Structure 1
C-alpha cells in the first residue's frame, strides 16, 4: 500500500516510462516472480538519470519509486536489505521523519531482524541529538 500520490508513467521521459511500464507489467503478470520485482526496483532507482532520487527529483519519479517499494515490501516483508534501502531513499527524498517511518514499518514487519534493528539504531544515533530519545 502506497502512502503517497499515484504515479503517472506518462509524465516521465519516453525511455524511462517505457522501461518502468515494462518492468511493472512483468510484476503485474507474475507477482510471485522475485526477479521481476528486483527489475522494477532497479528501474525505479535509475529514474532521473540514474544519479539517485533526491529532494529535487520529479514528484512522479518519487511516487513511482515509493509505489514500487511499498508493493514490493508488502509482498516480501522479510527482506531487511530492501527496508534499509527504502529508508535510505526516503532520507534523501524527504528527510529524517520519512526515513524513520520506513524503519518503523520494517522492524514491525520483521521484529527479529538483528540487521534491520542495527541499521535502525545506527540511524537513530546518527540523526538524534537527544540521547534519551535514542535510548527509547
Structure 2
C-alpha cells in the first residue's frame, strides 16, 4: 500500500499530487483505463473517499464500465444534499449504514493517512482500503 509519511508542507502536498497526475497521464497516453485495475482485482462495487479532482478523474474513468461507484465519502457531505452525479455522498461517521463495497479508494492522496485512520475508527478493515496512488502506480508494471 502507498502509505505516506505525515507532513504539513504545502509544497510536499503539491509534489505528491503532481506525481500522481503525471502517472495518470502516462497511463492515459498508453491507452490504459483505471477500470482495468478494479476489474483485475475483482473490485466491482467501490466507494470513493474525497470529492476533489482525483475523485472526479476516477469517477469519470469508471462511467460505462463494470465497476459501480456505490457512494462517495466526504467531510463536506452537507454541500452535496442531492449527492454527486446522482450518487450519495456520506460522512465517514455514517458509512456503516451504507451498502457493502469491495474497496474504498482514497482520492485525497496526500491526506491518505488521516483518511485511513478515520475509516479504521469507523469499522473498516485496512485490507478494504486503497489509495488512488495504489491504482495509478500499480498499473505501471502491467
Q: TM-score of the superposition, structure 2-length normalised? A: 0.35
Which structure has the highest helix share of the two? 1
Which structure has the highest strand share of the two? 2
Q: TM-score of the superposition, structure 1-length normalised? A: 0.36
Give the greater-gyration-radius structure (CA): 1
